[in-house]
Chains A and B, each alone.
Chain A
């Protein structure tokens, strides 16, 4: 029995840029537009902190009286560090909405964000060794 055959692909120099959004409807042959994120809780075009799925968030203060219910809930959740993905899961809110909430809370200095470890051109060898060591203990 012969398995189906794949052909390997190669890195593109730059990630393919999303096709520009156009105001008119799609032309023939380009029926699909790239998805855009939905911003639900705020419509402002505020600056967004670079927040990753695995940025760890810790509350710095108790919820102020003026906080929106979502913000209060988020602050209560983050008494101990919690990733953005976990916050999204517990609050049952999409990542983009959590990101907006966090941007506001970061601006108000009500939460602290601990940046994720990300892959770089040259990954950190000691980090990988720490992860391997940790996995061995599983």
Chain B
């Protein structure tokens, strides 16, 4: 990767600068299968134009037919689109989505660690593409809610049918949304926050 010479680097626009008082940031991860609208959701609620960050990893034999036992290493770049919401002058919330390559997210150390929670975005035309991601969140104990991104030509199931199909625990919220609409995406984040809040309340009462 070539480093851009410093005079070609464009930093944030003046209006995108965080105040000097910004003390801490939290993150939320939006997951789901390819093309389900994760980047759309990030873009619809972000106060900045979504940016892309990436991590480069090497892995032996990704997609390499290694018949001769030679050591081949392939560099894999995992990209994440993300956006930002200033909550207060002190607190900032970051939302991470991704264009694809789900199998690598969980190898990206630090992506899910420390995240407040996750939104699993599902498309009823391809419900099964989200199964593996949901299982991995469950294994890691990352709390999540499910948002059904309604596409016009998608099969209509009731939320109860979807809850059953996704084998969701009773307490996990599932809502419909239109990821293109800011208010709708905002409501999904609010659903996640309320859920996390209820988890802390029930933890406090035990």
Contacts and interface: CB of A to CB of B under 8 A. Distances in A.
A60 interface: no
Contact of B200 (A33, A122, A135): A122
B152 interface: no
A79 to B, nearest CB: 8
B193 A135 contact: yes
Q: Which of B18, B127, B168 has the most CB of A within 10 A?
A: B18
A36 B57 contact: yes
Contact of A3 (B117, B165, B197): B165
A49 interface: no
Interface residues of A, number: 73
A35 B69 CA distance: 18
Contacts of B62: 32
Contact of B127 (A4, A86, A135): A4
Interface string B19-42: 110111111000000000000000
Q: Is the interface of B mostly helix, strand, loop or mixed?
A: mixed
A106 interface: no
A81 B20 contact: yes
Given A11-B140, A70-B3, A94-B1, A88 B91 contact: no
Given A95-B54, A125-B200, A80 B18 contact: yes
A128 B167 contact: no
A129 to B, nearest CB: 7
B71 A25 contact: yes
A131 interface: yes
B55 A9 contact: no
Nearest to B62: A32
B94 interface: yes
Contact of A122 (B53, B57, B204): B204
Interface in A39-75: 40, 52-56, 58, 69-70, 72-73
Interface of A: 1, 3-12, 15-16, 25-26, 31-38, 40, 52-56, 58, 69-70, 72-73, 76-77, 80-83, 85-86, 88-96, 114-119, 121-125, 127-136, 138
Closest 10 A-B residue pairs measured CB to CB?
Answer: A35-B57, A118-B114, A134-B87, A89-B51, A3-B165, A54-B25, A9-B135, A117-B26, A80-B17, A88-B53
Given A56-B22, A56-B23, A116-B25, 11 more contacts: A10-B139, A32-B59, A32-B60, A83-B94, A86-B12, A95-B110, A119-B116, A122-B200, A123-B116, A123-B199, A130-B88
